[in-house]
Chain A
C-alpha cells in the first residue's frame, strides 16, 4: 500500500511538473510571438536655412492591451497607465512650449512642423471614452492629475472658462474632445524633469542623455510634448494597448567660431555643428531597454535640390550626379564625420522641391567607450528655404483704448501656394479650404455679427466664402467663446483677412492675474489646411521593423499652423480701494435711506412741536425738559406730562436701575473674559 501510494504521488508530481513546464513553455511562446512592451528612442537633426539646427527627440513607449498582458509593466510608466485607465482617455496630448515657431523660416508644411509645433505655453487636448455627460468631470480630474505629474499649473484648465469643446475644426472626430490652452504658462526644467522620468532610462543613458538643460533652454524654440493613444477601451483591434509618444523639439543655434567666413559669392557659410557643440554632450552609454535607438539627419527636399544643382555645376556634368545619395559623403557642399548606416530617400514627393533625404545612424554600434559624435561640416554656402504652408496665418489686434477693439486673422499667400494649387485644381473649380478654430476668453466679448471678410484686400460677402460656421458665444464667467469656420478661398488668393470686433470686459478684482497691467493672453487660433497632407513617402523594405519616427512622418496629417498669442490689455480697477469703495457706497445708500425716511416721518415731528408748544405754555419748564430728555433716551415718542411728576421720578429710578444692571453685566462679561 505505501509503495503504491508513493508511486501515485510520484506520478502526480510528474504530471504536475509536466503541466507546469508545458504551461510555462506555452506562455513564453505566446509572449515571444505576441506583443511586448517596447521602447524606442530617436533623434532627428535638420539644418535650418537661418543658420539654426532643429533637433527633434522622439521617444515611443508602447504597452500591450491589458486583457492579454496584464496590468504590470517593465518599461511603460505606471503613472500614465493609471491615468489612462482612471479617466478612460482615448487620446491625449499635452505640450509645453516656449518661444514661437517661425513658420516663415523653419517651414510649416512638413510632418514635424505640422504635428509637433505647438502654441506657446501649455496646450492640452484629450478625447475620453466616457458618456457625454461625464466628459467634463473626467477632464477636470485629468487636468489636476497632469498638473501634479508635470509640476505645472495645468489645473487652471479645470475651470469651464478655460477649456472648450471644438466640434469639427480642431480634429476630425471630436465628439468627446476637450481643448484648453494656457498661453502664459512659463515652461522650464521643472516640467522637463517629470517628463524625462517617464522614460525608462530617464536622462541617464541613451539619446536623452543629450538633454543638457542649459543648452536646451538656450534655444530659440523649445516644445516638449506628450501624446498618448490608447486602444484599451475601443472594440476595434489595435495592436497596442497604450502608445505613449514623447517628443522634444528644439531649435538651436550652433556655436559658430568660424561663422564670419564669407565666401566670394557674398554668402555666409552656414555654421558647422556637431552633437557636442549643440548639446554640450555626446551620446554615450546606450539605453539597454530601448528596442532601437536611432539618429537621423534630414536634408529637406529644397536643400537636396539646391545641393544637386550645386553638384551639377561644380562637377561639370559628370556622370555621378547621384553619388551623394549613394553614401559618398565627400560631396563639395557638406561633410558628415560619421558615415551613416543607411540612407533613406523619399520615394515620391508631393512637394515640388523634390525628395528629401534621411541619413540613418544606429546607436547599437556605439557604447560608452566609443561615443557617438556626429559632426556636420558645411563646405560651401547654400541658400534654401523650407516648405511653407499654403497660406501663412497671423493674427493681430486693431483699435486703441481699453474699451473695444478688433481681432484680425490674416492669411498671406506664401511663395509655394500657387504651384501647389495649380496641381490641386479639379473640375469643381479651384477652391482652397481653410479651417479656423479660435477660442476667445469671455472677458473679450466678441461680436460675431461684425465678422468681416476681406479677400485680396477687398471686402467680400460671407456667403461665397464661408462654407460652414459654428459659433458658441461666450458666457460671462462661465464659458469662452468658440468660433469654428470653414473658408473656401479662391485659389489665386494673395491675401485674406477676417476681422471681428469685440468689447473688453471688466473683471472683478480677484479675477485679475498678479500682474494685471501686463494684459491678458488670448490663446492661439488654429488654422489648418485639410486639402494638404504633410506626409513623406519613404521607401522602406521591412515595414514590421519600421521606426516610429519614420512611420510618424509617413502618416497623413493635414497641414496645421498656430497663430500668435494676442496680448490684450484690459482696464484695471484700483486694486487698493475695496474698503474705500465699500464704505463710500454704503454711506451713499445710508444717506438715501435715512434722509428719505426722515422726510417721510416729518409730520410726526411737526405735530409734536405744536403739542409741545401748547404744553409748554401750561406746565413748568424743568420737569418738562427732564421728561423730554428721558423720552429721547428711551426712544419713545414724548408724551405730554399729564400725570404727576412722581411718575417721572419713578421712570428715572427704573432707568438708573437698568443702567446699573447693564453696567454690571458688562463688567462681569469683561472680567469673565479676562
Chain B
C-alpha cells in the first residue's frame, strides 16, 4: 500500500519544479494579466504597490505608517518579493510536515495542491505579500510537528507579527508539542490499552495505525518540557522582533505608533475597499454609532470558537490549526484568496480522514463558481459602471457561505471519523 519514498520523489519533484517554472513564466507576463490590482488577490495589507509606496516614503525619511499600512512593512529592509524562493521553501516545509505527521501521499498531494492551486498561482503572480505570511504559518506548524521548538516559535512569532491572525495558532502548536501529532482521541487509546486491542487494530492500514500504536506503549501524557521551551523561545523571538521593530521605527513615533498603524488597521477595518470578505461592505454601510459594537462582535466570532474547537479536537492539533486558519481567513478583515489557498491545501493533508466529507462536489462547484463570478461582478461594478456594489457583495456573501459549510463539514467529518474508530473499537471489544 505504501509507496516507498524513493519511488515517489522524482514524480513529486518534477511536478513541483514544473509549478515553479509555470509561475516564473507567468511572472514574465505581468502586463497582460494585471493581477496585482485584483481585489481578490491583493488586499490593503498585502498589496505590493502599497509596500512600494511605504518603502519609498521610508527612503525619503518619513514615517511609512503615515500613509498606508502594510503589516509587512515592519521590517526596515526593503523586501522585494522573491516569490519563487518562498514558494519552494514552502513546498519543502509542507512535504516534510507531511512526512512527519501523515503518511506520504497526502503530504505530496497537499504540497502539489498548494503549488497548483489557481488561488496560489494568482497570488504569487500578482506579487502579493501573502505567500510570505503563509510561508511563516507553515514554518511554524512544521516546526511544531518536528519538535524543532525554536523554529516553531520563530514561525509563529513572525506570522502573527505579519498579519496578527496566526496568533491563534499558538494553541495547536502547544498541543502539537505537548501531545505529538494528530492521533485518535487518547481516551480510546486508554480503552484499547486496557483491553489490549492495539494488536487487533494494527491490521487497519489507515494512518491511525501508527498514531494508535506508539501512544499505546506510552499513554498520552502532556509533555510540559517542549511547551515551556516553546513559550520561552516564542518570547525570545518576540522580544527580538520587538527590538528590531523598535530600532527601525524609533524615529517614526515608536512602537506604539507602529502597533496602532498595523494591528489597529487590521482590527478596526479602516480601509473599505472591496475584497472577497464581507466586512468591507458591512462597515461601509453600517451606522457609525454601531461600528465599534460590530467590530467587537465580529472579532469575538473568531475568538469564541477557539475554546470549543480546542476541547473537541485536542487530539488532532494539526487539524485544529487548519480549522483555525480557515476560520480566521474567513472572518478576517482583509481576506484574500491566498488565505483560502493555504487552508484548502492543508486540508488535503487529511485526505484519508476526510474522505467521507459531505457536499464535496457542491462545495467544489461553489468555489469554482464564485471565483469565476467575482471578477465579473467586480468588473461590472467598478469598470463598466453597469452593476452596483450589491453584485459584488453577493459573490462575497456566497463565498463566505461556502467557506462556512466547508469548515463545518470538515469538522463534522473529522468527528465522524473518530466516532467510527470508536465504533470499531467498541465492536471489537464487544
- Seen from chain A, the residues whose Cβ lies within 8 Å of a Cβ on chain B are 400-404, 445, 447-449, 469, 471-477, 481, 503, 505-510, 571-574, 577-578, 581-582, 584-585, 588-589, 591-593, 595-597, 599-603, 606
Min CB distance, A94 to chain B, in Å?
A: 29
Question: Can you list 11 A-B pairs with a CB-CB distance of less than 8 A?
Answer: A471-B57, A475-B66, A503-B273, A506-B284, A509-B284, A572-B389, A577-B389, A585-B282, A592-B331, A593-B301, A606-B419
With A and B bound together, what is the CA distance between A48 and B179 in angstroms?
A: 90
Cα separation A345 to B270 with both chains bound (whole Å): 61
**Judging by beta carbons under 8 Å apart, are A448 and B278 in contact?**
no
- Which of B82-90, B243-251, B405-413 forms part of the interface with chain A? B405-413
Closest beta carbon of chain B to A447's beta carbon, Å? 5
A403 to B272, CA, bound (A): 13
- Cβ A593 vs Cβ B305 within 8 A: yes
Q: What 8 A-B pairs come out closest when comparing CB atoms?
A: A473-B67, A449-B56, A401-B383, A506-B272, A578-B285, A581-B285, A592-B404, A573-B389
Most A C-beta atoms less than 10 A away, residue of B312, B383, B404: B404
Assess whether A471 is in contact with B404, with CB atoms less than 8 Å apart. Answer: no
State whether A588 and B397 are in contact (beta carbons under 8 Å apart), knowing that A508-B272, A573-B284, A581-B282 are contacts in the complex.
Answer: yes
Do A508 and B404 contact each other (CB < 8 Å), given the known contacts A574-B388, A574-B390?
no
Q: How far is the CA of A510 from the CA of B283 in the complex (A)?
A: 11
Complexed CA–CA distance, A439 and B55 (Å): 22
Most buried by B among A476, A584, A591, A599: A599
Separation of A472 and B57 alpha carbons in the complex (Å): 9
Measured between beta carbons, the chain A residues less than 8 angstroms from B274 are 506
B53: chain A residues at CB < 8 Å are: 447-449, 473
Cβ A508 vs Cβ B284 within 8 A:
yes
**Nearest-CB distance from A73 to chain B (Å)?**
45
Report chain A residues within 8 Å CB of B390.
574, 577
Residue B400, interface by CB 8 Å: yes
**CB proximity of A574 to chain B, nearest CB, Å:** 5
Chain B min CB distance to A198 (Å): 39
A400–B382 Cα distance when bound, in Å, is: 10
Residue ranges of B at the interface with A (Cβ–Cβ < 8 Å): 37, 49, 52-53, 55-57, 60, 62, 66-68, 270-274, 278, 280-288, 297-298, 301, 304-305, 308-309, 312, 330-331, 381-383, 385, 388-390, 393, 397, 400-401, 404-405, 407-408, 411-412, 415, 419
**B287 and A402: CB pair below 8 A?**
no
Seed contacts A402-B385, A449-B55, A481-B67; 15 additional CB < 8 Å A-B pairs: A469-B60, A473-B68, A506-B271, A506-B273, A509-B285, A573-B285, A574-B285, A578-B286, A588-B278, A592-B330, A592-B404, A592-B407, A596-B407, A600-B415, A602-B415
Chain A, residue nearest B410 (CB): A599
- A478 to B, closest residue via Cβ: B66
Give Cα A473 to B57, complex, Å: 8
Tell me if B's interface is mostly helix, strand, loop or mixed.
helix
- Contact: B66 with A473, CB < 8 Å? yes
Contacts of A572 in B (CB 8 A): 388-389
Q: Could you tell me if B305 and A596 are in contact, using CB atoms closer than 8 angstroms? A: yes
Evaluate contact between A597 and B308: CB separation under 8 angstroms.
yes
Contacts of A503 in B (CB 8 A): 49, 273
Compute how far the CA of A98 lies from the CA of B184 in the bound complex, rounded to whole angstroms.
77
Let me know if A403 and B415 touch, CB within 8 A.
no
Which of chain B's residues have a CB closer than 8 A to the CB of A447? 49, 52-53
Bound-complex Cα distance A298 to B150 (A): 83
| CB of A440 to closest CB in B, whole Å | 12
Q: Which residues of B contact A506 (CB under 8 A)?
A: 271-274, 280, 284
Chain B residue numbers with a CB within 8 Å of A606 are: 419
Find B309's partner among A449, A472, A574, A600 (CB 8 Å cutoff).
A600
List of A residues within 8 angstroms of B393 by Cβ:
581
Q: Which residues of B contact A571 (CB under 8 A)?
A: 381-382, 389
Name the CB-closest residue of B to A508. B284
Chain B neighbourhood of A476, CB < 8 A: 270-271
In the complex, chain B residues whose CB is within 8 Å of the CB of A509: 284-285
Closest to B50 in A: A447
Q: Which residue of A lies closest to B298 (CB)?
A: A589
Instruction: Tell me whether A599 and B282 are in contact (CB under 8 A).
Output: no
- The complex places the Cα of A474 from the Cα of B390 at a distance, in Å, of 29
- Shortest B201–chain A CB gap in Å is 21
Q: Is the interface of A mostly helix, strand, loop or mixed?
A: mixed
Say whether A600 contacts B273, CB under 8 Å.
no
Given A584-B397, A599-B408, A602-B415, A508–B283 Cβ distance below 8 Å? yes
What residues of chain A lie closer than 8 Å to B282, measured between beta carbons?
581-582, 585
Residue in contact with A595 in the complex, picked from B55, B62, B271, B404, CB distance below 8 Å:
B404
Asked if B56 contacts A448 (CB within 8 A), the reply is yes
CB distance from A471 to the nearest CB of B (A): 7
Q: How far is the CA of A130 from the CA of B405 in the complex (A)?
A: 61
Q: Which of A404, A507, A582, A597 contacts B286 (CB 8 A)?
A: A582
Contact B411 A573 (CB under 8 A): no
Q: How far is the CB of A480 from chain B (nearest CB, A)?
A: 12
* Complex Cα spacing A582 to B284, Å: 10
The residue from A404, A472, A588, A603 contacting B37, defined by CB atoms under 8 A apart: A404
Contact B288 A508 (CB under 8 A): yes
How far apart sit A592 and B287, CA to CA, in the bound complex (Å)? Answer: 23
A500 to chain B, nearest CB (A): 11
Known contacts A573-B281, A588-B400; decide if A505 and B382 are in contact (CB<8 Å): no
Instruction: Identify the interface centre among A401, A588, A602, A606: most chain B CB within 10 Å of its CB.
Output: A588
Q: How far is the CA of A600 from the CA of B308 in the complex (A)?
A: 7
Interface centre among B37, B381, B389 (most CB of A within 10 A): B389
Report if A578-B287 is in contact (Cβ < 8 Å); known contacts: A445-B68, A600-B308: yes
Partner of B281, one of A477, A581, A595: A581
CB-CB nearest in chain B for A510? B288
Task: Let me know if A448 and B57 touch, CB within 8 A.
Answer: yes
Residue in chain B with minimal CB distance to A501? B49
Task: Report yes or no: B415 in contact with A475, Cβ–Cβ below 8 A.
Answer: no
CB-CB under 8 A from A593, the residues of chain B are 301, 304-305
Check A599–B273 contact: CB distance below 8 A: no
Alpha-carbon separation in the docked complex, A593 to B53 (Å): 39
On chain A, the residues within 8 Å of B285 by CB distance are 508-509, 573-574, 577-578, 581-582
Report the separation of the CA atoms of residues A591 and B286 in the bound assembly, to the nearest whole angstrom. Answer: 20
> Smallest CB-CB separation from B323: which chain A residue?
A596
A residues near B67, Cβ cutoff 8 Å:
473-475, 481
Closest to A517 in B: B385
Min CB–CB distance B80 → chain A (angstroms):
14
CA distance in complex: A277, B369 (Å): 71
Chain B positions within 8 Å of A599 at CB level: 408, 411-412, 415
CA distance A447 to B53 in the complex (A): 6
Kindly report which residue of chain A lies nearest to residue B413, judged by CB atoms: A599
Determine how close the nearest CB of chain B comes to the CB of A397; give it in whole angstroms.
16
Residues of chain A within 8 A of B49, CB atoms compared = 447, 503
Q: Inside 8 A of A469's CB, which chain B residues have their CB?
A: 60
Give CA–CA (A597, B311) in the complex, Å: 12
Chain A residue with the shortest CB-CB distance to B409: A599
Q: Which residue of A lies closest to B312 (CB)?
A: A600
In the complex, how many angstroms separate the beta carbon of A166 from the nearest chain B beta carbon?
Answer: 16
CA A591 to CA B283, docked complex, whole Å: 19
Q: How far is the CA of A596 from the CA of B297 in the complex (A)?
A: 17
* Shortest distance from the beta carbon of B176 to any chain A beta carbon, whole Å: 20
Q: In the complex the two chains form, is A603's CB within 8 Å of B401's CB?
A: no
Does B283 contact A574, Cβ atoms closer than 8 Å?
Answer: no
Residues of B within 8 A of A481 (CB): 67
Say whether, besides A473-B57, A577-B390, A595 and B415 are in contact (CB < 8 Å): no
**A401 and chain B: residue at smallest CB distance:** B383
Contact B37 A574, beta carbon cutoff 8 Å: no
Q: Give B314 Cβ to nearest chain A Cβ, in Å.
A: 12
Closest to A402 in B: B382
Within the complex, the shortest CB–CB distance from B406 to chain A, in Å, comes to 11
Residues of B within 8 A of A600 (CB): 308-309, 312, 411, 415
CA distance A61 to B331 in the complex (A): 64
How far is B400's CA from A449's CA once the two chains are assembled, in angstroms?
35
Find the residue from A475, A573, A595 having the highest chain B CB count within 10 A. A573
The residues of B that contact A402 with a CB separation of less than 8 Å are 382-383, 385
